[in-house]
Amino acid sequence: MERVRNKVALVTGAAKGIGRATAILLAEEGAKVALTDVDDVAGESVAKEIRDAGGNAIFFHHDVTEEVQWIKVIQSTQDNFGALNILVNNAGMALDGNAEYETLERWRQLMAVNLDGVFLGTKHAIAAMKTGNGSIINLSSVEGIVADPNLAAYNASKGGVRLFSKSAALYCAKEQYQIRVNTVHPGYIWTPMVENFLASLGDLKATRPLAEKLHPIGRLGDPKEIAYAILYLASDEALFVTGSELVIDGGYTAQ
């Protein structure tokens, strides 16, 4: 229960789903955790849940598309906990849309959250970590490795996260910063985002089984299964791991 003992973690999109599971697990494993989200009520609730269980957590309202908010959140994390060792860039959104009919407005909205947010977090976390050590974990997706005809913007954003993270990892290594940068690529995980996305496509009784069949293992993933992968990358067990992509997808991309 001490795999990240005394480390300081910042987890975005921590009010629900993978972010919530990750924040709770990191706290259980000894980290001091700053949770951020635009959903203040749910975010504060998760932070309280962690504290009630004996962990150390604080919540900040945070729009990941705004650079000034990134600067403020990272500084507040350092002010409260004394350092920043782990950044989990988890905040994201999903929209269905193809290359012919997707709108520029929706494209830019999704890119701002999924790609700009990861860029801003990585940029400012490097500045905060470079005199010490750190692990930056950026959430991509199986859709950052393989494509879907109706997820044009989402594919582009998650593919961007994948290669941007490799570039950042190589830069940190070149500069001899003790900062590792890796990506995690979940398959379909049963989170509110996936539930809402599948509901937008039709009756969940019909769309969920279709999503399950995409995975040879025959089911959707659980948020905690992704959180454990993030925990590994955040811990000193992964000191030789950088520029890598960890795929947890029930066999989705093996086909």
The mean predicted confidence, pLDDT, of the chain is 97
Condensed to tens digits (0 to 9), the pLDDT of residues 178-205 reads: 999 999 999 999 999 899 889 988 999 9
Active-site entry in 101, 154, 177, 188: 154
In a domain, 133, yes or no: yes
Q: What is the CATH number of the domain that holds 155?
A: 3.40.50.720
Q: What is the span of the domain harbouring residue 103?
A: 8-186+221-245
228: annotated active-site residue: no
In a domain, 191, yes or no: no
In a domain, 12, yes or no: yes
Condensed to tens digits (0 to 9), the pLDDT of residues 67-111 reads: 999 999 999 999 999 999 999 999 999 999 999 999 999 999 999
Number of domains in the chain: 1
In a domain, 57, yes or no: yes
In a domain, 181, yes or no: yes
In a domain, 139, yes or no: yes
Pairing of strands 8-12, 86-89: parallel
In a domain, 250, yes or no: no
In a domain, 255, yes or no: no
Structure tokens at 134: 């750190």
Query: Distance (Å, rounded) from C-alpha 72 to C-alpha 122?
Result: 14
